[in-house]
């Protein structure tokens, strides 16, 4: 279906270019805004994969909660001008770029080879998997124990964040 | 019909962009956002396989990745704040007290 491909290529182009533009910004606030654009296009891509519930949760959690937290910290620390932070292109920079280019070439070679994976459509039950009903059923039966452990992880994160960020009270 | 490779290649590209950011940028918060980008590219891979092979396990795993990412964001930003309070900088070249 041609419409599906147009939507995919549009969203993929937005996601890829916003990821690159994020790296090139000097101002961390601009980086954060490009990352939010990237998250929204990823949400659209999840919809093309029929993962409707994950798409919504992704936008709410990432764009709504995590990025707001990041923006708060950027503004709290007042780093907007980038004067405090000198970023220089050094030898190490080129090594870093070279290493990641090597990684991408490797992944491209593995994934992009024709005939390695058969050309297949989405699974016939992909439409049903993404619904809240189906995911909820699976999560509260098969994956109940990991789900409960998750609450412990979140509690530890809350306590840790408060412990680390609070001001030391002088005695 | 979109071949599965397209999704995987997009996700590989985003992951490598995140790697470049972690290795090259010196602002701790930008490094932090690049880690979020890498987590998200892996999420895309998980959902792609989940949709193409008809297995809900991938989408459930994405939930847990999101939980870990949220916890990581809270703790990581708290660390950045307390570092800034002590050293007045978020440049990771200046934060080297654990360097041997």
Residues A147 and A101 in one domain: no
Domain boundary residue, one of A115, A130, A145: A130
The listed range with the strongest mean pLDDT (A106-115, A117-126, B9-18) is B9-18
Q: Are A100 and A158 in the same domain? A: no
A89 shares its domain with A150: no
- For residues A77 and A145, membership in a common domain is answered with no
Q: How close does chain A come to B42, measured CA to CA in Å?
A: 11
pLDDT for residue B46 is more than 90: yes
- What chain B residue is nearest to A54 in terms of C-alpha separation? B59
Q: What is the ipTM of this complex?
A: 0.92
Please check whether residues A40 and A117 belong to one and the same domain.
yes
A18 C-beta neighbours (distance < 10 Å), count: 22
A86 and A16 belong to one structural domain: yes
For A29-75, what is each residue's pLDDT tens digit?
Answer: 999 999 999 999 999 999 999 999 999 999 999 988 999 999 999 88
Alpha-carbon Rg for chain B in angstroms: 17
Structurally, chain A folds into a number of domains equal to: 2
- Do both A122 and A157 map to the same domain? no
A26, A43: one domain? yes
pTM of the model: 0.90
The verdict on B96 touching A (C-beta cutoff 8 Å) is no
If asked whether residues A35 and A73 sit together in one domain, one would say yes
Q: Taking CB atoms and an 8 Å limit, are A108 and B50 in contact across chains?
A: no
Provide the pLDDT for residue A171: 61
Do A129 and B54 count as a contact with CB atoms less than 8 A apart?
yes
Report the candidate in B43, B94, B97 with the shortest Cα–Cα distance to residue B66. Answer: B43
- Lowest mean pLDDT across A117-121, A152-156, B76-80: A117-121
Tell me which residue of B72, B24, B18 sits closest to A70, measured CA to CA: B72
Domain enclosing residue A158, as ranges: 131-171
Among residues A63, A61, A21, the alpha carbon closest in space to that of A41 is found at A63
Query: Is the pLDDT assigned to residue A141 strictly greater than 80?
Result: yes
Using the predicted structure, report yes or no on whether residue A81 has a pLDDT greater than 70: no
- Domains assigned to chain B: 26-87 (1.10.287.3510)
Question: Looking at per-residue confidence, does B99 or A161 come out higher?
Answer: A161
CATH code for the domain in which residue A7 is found? 1.20.120.1200
How far from chain centre, in Å, is Cα A125? 26
Answer yes or no: do A125 and A142 share one domain: no
Record: contact B37-A35, CB cut-off 8 A = yes
If asked whether residues A88 and A151 sit together in one domain, one would say: no
Residues of A in contact with B33 (CB under 8 A): 22, 28, 31-32, 35, 70
Smallest CA–CA distance, residue B20 to chain A, in Å, is 6
> Does A50 share its domain with A107?
yes
For A121, counting Cβ atoms within 10 Å of its Cβ (0-12 exposed, 13-18 middle, 19+ buried), the class is exposed
The pLDDT value recorded for residue A115 is 60
Average pLDDT, chain B: 90
């Amino acid at each position: 279906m041609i419409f599906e491909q147009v939507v995919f290529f549009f969203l993929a182009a937005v996601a890829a270019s916003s990821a690159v533009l994020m790296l090139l910004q000097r101002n961390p606030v601009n980086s954060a805004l490009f990352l939010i654009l990237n998250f929204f296009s990823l949400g659209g891509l999840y919809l093309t994969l029929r993962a409707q519930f994950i798409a919504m949760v992704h936008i709410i959690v990432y764009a709504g909660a995590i990025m707001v937290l990041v923006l708060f910290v950027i503004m709290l620390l007042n780093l907007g001008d980038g004067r405090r932070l000198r970023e220089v292109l050094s030898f190490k920079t080129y090594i870093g770029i070279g290493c990641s280019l090597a990684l991408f070439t490797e992944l491209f070679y593995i994934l992009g080879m024709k005939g390695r994976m058969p050309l297949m459509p989405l699974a016939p039950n992909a439409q049903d998997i993404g619904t809240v009903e189906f995911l909820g059923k699976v999560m509260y039966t098969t994956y109940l124990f990991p789900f409960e452990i998750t609450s412990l992880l979140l509690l530890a994160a809350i306590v840790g964040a408060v412990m680390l960020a609070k001001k030391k009270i002088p005695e | 019909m979109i071949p599965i490779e397209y999704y995987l290649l997009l996700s590989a590209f985003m992951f490598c962009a995140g790697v470049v950011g972690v290795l090259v940028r010196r602002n701790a918060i930008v490094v932090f956002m690049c880690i979020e980008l890498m987590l998200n590219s892996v999420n895309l891979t998980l959902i792609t396989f989940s949709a193409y092979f008809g297995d809900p396990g991938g989408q459930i795993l994405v939930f847990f990745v999101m939980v870990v990412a949220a916890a990581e964001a809270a703790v990581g930003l708290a660390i950045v704040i307390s570092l800034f309070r002590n050293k007045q900088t978020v440049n990771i070249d200046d934060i080297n007290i654990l360097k041997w």
